[in-house]
C-alpha cells in the first residue's frame, strides 16, 4: 500500500487507466456497498462481499478521474442488462468515472 502511495504521489496521476465493469455496475473493486476500512487521498482499503479476496486495496474515483485517459472494457453476455441500465440513466459505481478522455469499449454482442 505505501509503495503505491509513494509512486502515485510522485506523479500525481496516471497517464492511462483501463477499467473493467462488473455485472453489478462495479469497477476498480469499488462496489455499491463496500465496507471502507481506511482511505488516503488516492487509495481505499475496502471489504467487498465476495468469497475470493474480500479485502482489497484500490484507487478511488478522484485518482481515476485525474488520469489523462480512462478506458472501460466491457465483455461477456452477462453484462447486457447492466449496459442497458446504464444507457437508460441508472447510476452505479462506474457512473462515478467522469473523465474528458473516457472511452468505453463494449463487446458488440452487448449492443
Greater confidence (68 vs 32) lies with 68
Asked whether the predicted pLDDT for residue 4 surpasses 70, the reply is no
Distance, in Å, from the CA atom of 46 to the CA atom of 32, rounded to the nearest integer, reads 11
- Supply the Cα-derived Rg of the chain in whole angstroms: 14
Give the torsion through C-alpha atoms of 95, 91, 4, 19, to 10 deg.
-60
53-65 pLDDT, tens digit per residue, is 667 778 888 889 9
HSE (side-chain half, CA atoms, 13 Å) at 65: 10
pTM of the model: 0.79
Q: Which three cell numbers stand for residue 31?
A: 462496489
Amino acid at each position: 500500500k505505501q509503495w503505491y502511495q509513494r509512486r502515485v504521489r510522485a506523479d500525481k496521476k496516471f497517464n492511462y487507466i483501463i477499467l473493467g465493469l462488473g455485472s453489478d455496475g462495479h469497477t476498480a473493486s469499488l462496489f455499491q456497498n463496500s465496507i471502507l476500512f481506511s482511505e488516503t487521498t488516492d487509495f481505499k482499503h475496502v471489504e467487498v462481499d465476495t468469497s475470493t479476496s474480500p479485502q482489497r486495496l484500490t484507487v478511488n474515483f478522484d485518482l481515476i478521474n485525474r488520469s489523462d485517459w480512462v478506458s472501460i472494457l466491457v465483455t461477456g453476455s452477462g453484462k447486457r442488462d447492466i449496459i442497458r441500465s446504464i444507457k437508460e440513466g441508472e447510476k452505479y459505481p462506474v457512473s462515478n468515472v467522469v473523465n474528458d478522455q473516457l472511452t468505453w469499449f463494449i463487446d458488440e454482442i452487448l449492443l
